[in-house]
Amino acid sequence: MLRIPFLDSHTGGEPTRLVETGAPDLGHGSVADQLVILRTNFDHYRSQVLNEPRGSDVLVGALLVTPADPSCQLGVIYFNNVGYLGMCGHGTIGLMASLAYQGRITPGTYRIETPVGVVEATLHPADANQPYANRVSVQNIPAYRHMKHIGIEIDGRTVHGDVAWGGNWFFLVHDHGLEVSLKNLDQLTNFSWRIREKLQEQGVTGQGKQEIDHIELFGDSPQADSQSFVLCPGKAYDRSPCGTGTSAKLACLYGDGKLAEGQVWKQQSVVGSIFEGRIQLKDGQIIPTITGEAWVMAEGLLLVDERDPFGQGIAA
Ligand code: PYC
């Protein structure tokens, strides 16, 4: 029987499952190299931890690994129901709050190696009466807009979007005509999925022909600067405002002259949670910082019984 200790948290409603054992030996290379080994040889580990019946489509996994970069204290690989993420903003906030809950880190700034680069996460001090610190700012890798105002034909009309990078590839759409609301999840999901299919059909990709696997639909918000629905690669929607998606959005806003360096942008998710984002300019690059809170909610042991016909997880 394989036993994998886990700690689940949620960041603005979006869950993160922290694991660090049970994974096969991924070698001593960079975190990007370790991801290649995990994906190529041991993808069943992702499915065991994340997929039904032990997990769900909504979960994002955070596997703690040893960083190769000596300036980093932590290394992490993020994964979901269908594959791996470059970076994950809500997951990094969840990771830091989880380590604080476990008493393994104290407030301060930590460098974390991810497959797409080093991020810096700052755990803010908790108030005296709080059991653990849970407010985190994540200084992400540089974000940028790759293409602007790309038209996509759907149902005889054209919607437009920007292609931007924030640690994953996003297509950011404003003129979709749908209400960004919890009441409207089926429509938002189906429409976003159609956009993703159309991007593939029309050959619209990120840089280096990388697939655009996250779709963001924006609307107005009375409580924040904007509200968004984000469809993730495995067709689950992000309950959080999406840290990498907000990073991509900030790059587009800056490009359009709508956001100044240091100005706070509040991005609200479709469930109502809010991230604060701002950018810093460094060597001509846009460096986003995303701030939010995470809450631990379950801890225990995942058990993988070799006799269990669905022990490896149900995967399409
Ligand atoms: O917060 O960056 C994020 C994220 C990506 C996918 C789900 N959440």
pLDDT of residue 51: 97
Task: Return phi, psi of residue 52, to 5°.
Answer: -60, 150
92 CA from centroid of ligand 1 (Å)? 9
How far apart are alpha carbons 76 and 215 in whole angstroms? 24
pLDDT of residue 184: 97
Is pLDDT at 44 greater than 80 in this prediction? Answer: yes
Query: Ligand 1, residues 9, 14, 16: which to mutate, most atoms within 8 A of Cβ?
Result: 14
Q: Which amino acid is at 263?
A: Q
Q: How confident is the model over 220-251, as pLDDT tens digits?
A: 999 999 999 999 999 999 999 999 999 999 99
Query: Ligand 1, residues 84, 85, 138, 216: which to mutate, most atoms within 8 A of Cβ?
Result: 85
15 CA from centroid of ligand 1 (Å)? 10
Mean pLDDT score of the chain, rounded to an integer? 97
- Any idea what DSSP says for residue 262? T
238 CA from centroid of ligand 1 (Å)? 7
pLDDT of residue 263: 98
Residue 11 burial by Cβ neighbours in a 10 Å radius (0-12, 13-18, 19+): buried
The first and second tokens of residue 32, run together, are 């990007």
Which ligand 1 atom is nearest residue 93's CA? 1
102 CA from centroid of ligand 1 (Å)? 23
In the chain, the percentage of residues whose pLDDT exceeds 70 is 100
88 CA from centroid of ligand 1 (Å)? 4
Tell me, yes or no, if 88 is annotated catalytic.
yes
How far apart are alpha carbons 199 and 193 in whole angstroms? 10
Mean pLDDT of 131-154: 97
Look up the pTM and report it: 0.98
pLDDT of residue 254: 98
What residue's CA is closest to ligand 1, atom 5? 88
Q: How confident is the model over 170-181, as pLDDT tens digits?
A: 999 999 999 999
pLDDT of residue 167: 98
Tell me, yes or no, if 252 is annotated catalytic.
no
Pocket of ligand 1 (CB under 6 A): 14, 60, 85, 88-90, 168, 232, 238, 240, 242-244
Q: How confident is the model over 113-124, as pLDDT tens digits?
A: 999 999 999 999
Mean pLDDT of 136-149: 98
Q: Cα 131 from chain centroid?
A: 26
93 CA from centroid of ligand 1 (Å)? 10
Query: Ligand 1, residues 76, 141, 230, 239: which to mutate, most atoms within 8 A of Cβ?
Result: 230
Q: Which of 72, 88, 232, 252 is catalytic?
A: 88
Count Cβ atoms below 10 Å from residue 92 Cβ, excluding itself. 33
What residue's CA is closest to ligand 1, atom 8? 242
Is pLDDT at 316 greater than 80 in this prediction? Answer: no
pLDDT of residue 53: 97
Question: Among candidates 262, 271, 101, 100, which has minimal Cα distance to 181?
Answer: 271
Which ligand 1 atom is nearest residue 87's CA? 2
Q: How confident is the model over 251-285, as pLDDT tens digits?
A: 999 999 999 999 999 999 999 999 999 999 999 99
Lowest mean pLDDT among 19-23, 44-48, 186-190: 19-23
Q: How confident is the model over 284-303, as pLDDT tens digits?
A: 999 999 999 999 999 999 99
